[in-house]
Structure 1
């Protein structure tokens, strides 16, 4: 490469699978220079990941790639053989995947993962210096005690540390191009900010970054230029500030309008539309209101008192870890309670205890006024239907042998076949799915459809409380808006209480009546959600809110009128 040569320079890239398969990427142009970040955004299935992976010949089995120009590092990549592509990966280009736990080899230490590129490509480092290189690389991405972490395995690290270790393995060979595919999805706000800071540092050092993300706020904070993809085509492109502030394509406008914001509370996210001012004034977002919610009842649906849970570290005689300590809260009928905190704060442990899947060491849980914790499952079973769960990964919560009708029908005992089929059809329609999907297997559905099936399953039991554990964190912004609207509409209609667990503080602000903030297993702040967001009292709560990416459109330049119909 010569100075000023783009790292990536492609024109007319198209990708199809199979000899006669339809193109999944159509005529894409893309240029990435050293020292800049270019983002690809769009909904699931838009072609973002296939486009990015085509740059290192990893589009997938059966992929057929054509282009008018395909220059990687100034060389004609259309002439590369398999050996040349292997030499390029890790040295010229490093890939950061979304899920570090599944991307890192569970049988190898973090140090071995980071050192792989050096060993595989026989880089001139020297065997004795490999350990120093690993420690230095881990330290560069903000991993504390790098020599200790290098001897550990992926499952022994937190989500944020695993993601940083994955970035370290991608940059250990000093690649000039980093391809990051959804590197911050499912991370809490503070860890997300740390991971983005690591990537920004590499860009400042002169590396090129191709970022694939459905989080427009993250893109706004790091990308120099953005390409918006839909159905395999780039429909909008340009400098990030320009595209996000003045979106030209209707699809780009829809993506931006669907992002939760303080002004969106009480309205349907999926109904949002950007209405440009005829006189060239500021952009306005128009939204339809959600149905009116009934007043929150004084009836307490769930009461937790003094919950404490301690785990013993593996291999340690007296080493313990306190996941929860003296946690108390209550949820009233029709109330939405948000539970937030960074990774390791105790959210998941709290949810498991509430669901009766884990027993506390101390404390108690009462459901509908009667004891819930400390009972056998046989004793809990008659009331189990009153407490339901919407998981983060719906597919993994389904029996792979079941069809949609079997999954939803799990919560409809005692109905004959005809009545059960009618009820399942009604529930599917209620969550916006065609009754004909009852015969399908979940693996043949999209992520948004699977999440709707999980909601239908939960509602089938007519529960008093639903625990929503990161229910939309893996969905793109447009599908997320649809699912969030669905949960909000059904909650308003049915009056079901929700315990809404999420790392997305903007989403929690949109949904919750009350907010509980966990840190290191303890409640550090609780109260009215809007009051906590507007005037956080605890230092940790303030740091969480400060970690949020800046809103895409905010302030007087974007009034966001709520309840205005198009």
Structure 2
């Protein structure tokens, strides 16, 4: 089966009827920033039109101009920005003539914005109910506390949040990552805007919640005639919902057209490279960033296309089964419960059970994937493995030694053998440190000359210039920061690395490079990995075995092929059914 025919089955047909007057009508958009070294152009010559009942998607790598293009639709580009255009109409009015007051009236009523990082976007001092209800009260859309609370409750329920009354009284830090993101989406749609601007709205969400969010946004487009500008590095999500796609690179649109056409028959080499870099079961054992399209003349009646990839280096250890070889980690029957509303004391019936009787092991050189919905217990499990949280029941052994129920002083000799690669490396770095100092934390007792040589070698090992050592992490790109986090973990020469959503915030191109790097280093060094991700296709690409968690319990585990291709548990089947078909599934 050709790539084209398989992809066409995954892309919904464009909206049949679109209103004649666009919500957004821009021609020749340019965005420039004036700085001490002159003018910097970040967007140039972009045409963008969004009609009611239409979803337009912007895709491209980090720094391509997607987010700044979207932000200019709300006059949120930032200080020092200069926006120009041949035509810039918002709701059929000349936006180049808008004053600050006009833009403020449009935010939340005409257009709602969904950002990527909910923890940063949500006010830590206000409840979720206050956050979602703000646009309603600020713009006087409803009057009276009861009416505002009712709309807030209904909006939270619409984005898949259960127990909305309880969530309205909570703060952002009390919610899981998935719940925070859904609360942010609820805040954007509470004012019933005619245009929704969604900047990576599903990046932090698991497959089932992602599906709910896409269905909510899709219903707004399909049933209510709302326009949607979707920014996403997940091309499978784009294929599910978008009518048209604009592919951006270096501030310019390199390809545009109907989603069906752009994603199934890409013309531009950059678009083809993006699609080929998407992980899947078929990419297992290969370098994602090496992927390229080639003609496959096997079927004389069609112009079939296939993706060709270079293999990863051979593994030092055979692909693990969890039953052979040295076990570097043994988790035996761990359980963890939390008191609702905080507090301490003995267990109560109303406590939240985060984990119950969870057992697994990881062999030397093995990659174990950990998947499940938001709130399933993945992060709690990772914290217990890392020794940051003590289990209420069960034990963890690291390299054959007791780990979970020992004081930190007694664990110190083993600490270096267990390392961590977080989802957001910048928040895990000391902002006062340079890259060299960040890595040096894990080097132990070395002379200055030895440390300098080792840090330079580690940076080169993860594909970075050794000269970056004197820069601060905030001056690096997202992909560079993630590589620094990997270098910091490798500095300790660990036996096991816990990878918690290590690439979920990265665009397709950078994700492919980082995943390739992890695979190459893992093959060469034989380090075991506990790989936590909501991306089922990525886990299938990188893991040997997989563990499926649901409500704190292990419902299924086994080889990735057995679990993902022949699931035995109903929950696993439901989780897989929510995953959009990978774009390269047929290749």
TM range (shorter): over 0.9
Work out which of the residue numbers 496, 513, 523 in structure 2 matches 1:465.
496
Query: Which is further off, 250-259 or 408-417?
Result: 408-417
Give the unaligned 5+ runs of structure 1.
560-566
2:332 is matched with 305
Query: What CA distance in whole angstroms lies between the structure 2 residues aligned with 1:148 and 1:299?
Result: 46
Q: How does 1:46-445 map to 2 (within 5 A)?
A: 46-123=64-141, 129-204=147-222, 205-276=224-295, 281-294=303-316, 295=318, 296=320, 298-314=325-341, 318=348, 319-445=350-476
Q: 1:524 to 1:424 in 2, by over 3 A?
A: same
- C-alpha distance after superposition, 1:449-472 (max 9, x if no partner): 111111111111211111111111
CA contact (8 A) 1:160 1:195 kept: no
Work out which of the residue numbers 26, 30, 35 in structure 2 matches 1:14.
30
Q: 1:158 to 1:441 in 2, by over 3 A?
A: closer
CA contact (8 A) 2:329 2:397 kept: yes
Give the CA deviation at 1:30: 0.4
Query: Which is further off, 146-155 or 363-372?
Result: 146-155
Aligned with 1:84: secondary structure?
A: helix
Query: What CA distance in whole angstroms lies between the structure 2 residues aligned with 1:63 and 1:156?
Result: 36
Give the CA deviation at 1:341: 1.0
Query: What CA distance in whole angstroms lies between the structure 2 residues aligned with 1:3 and 1:384?
Result: 61
Query: What CA distance in whole angstroms lies between the structure 2 residues aligned with 1:512 and 1:98?
Result: 27
TM-score normalised to structure 2 length: 0.91
Aligned with 2:555: secondary structure?
A: strand
Query: What CA distance in whole angstroms lies between the structure 2 residues aligned with 1:126 and 1:448?
Result: 47
Give the unaligned 5+ runs of structure 2.
1-17
RMSD of aligned Cα (Å): 1.8
Aligned with 1:364: secondary structure?
A: strand
Query: Which is further off, 329-338 or 124-133?
Result: 124-133
CA contact (8 A) 1:324 1:346 kept: yes
CA contact (8 A) 1:163 1:195 kept: no
Give the CA deviation at 1:188: 0.8
Aligned with 1:305: secondary structure?
A: strand
2:513 is matched with 482
Aligned with 1:51: secondary structure?
A: helix
Query: What CA distance in whole angstroms lies between the structure 1 residues aligned with 2:146 and 2:435?
Result: 56
1:564 is matched with none
Query: What CA distance in whole angstroms lies between the structure 1 residues aligned with 2:512 and 2:104?
Result: 40
Q: 1:262 to 1:308 in 2, by over 3 A?
A: same
Give the CA deviation at 1:168: 2.4
2:575 is matched with 544
Query: What CA distance in whole angstroms lies between the structure 1 residues aligned with 2:178 and 2:239?
Result: 21
Aligned with 2:416: secondary structure?
A: helix
Aligned pairs, number: 555
Query: What CA distance in whole angstroms lies between the structure 2 residues aligned with 1:535 and 1:169?
Result: 39
Query: What CA distance in whole angstroms lies between the structure 2 residues aligned with 1:333 and 1:215?
Result: 32
- C-alpha distance after superposition, 1:145-194 (max 9, x if no partner): 44443343333444333333322222222211111111111111111111
CA contact (8 A) 1:353 1:359 kept: yes
TM-score normalised to structure 1 length: 0.94
CA contact (8 A) 2:278 2:584 kept: no
Work out which of the residue numbers 509, 515, 518 in structure 1 matches 2:546.
515
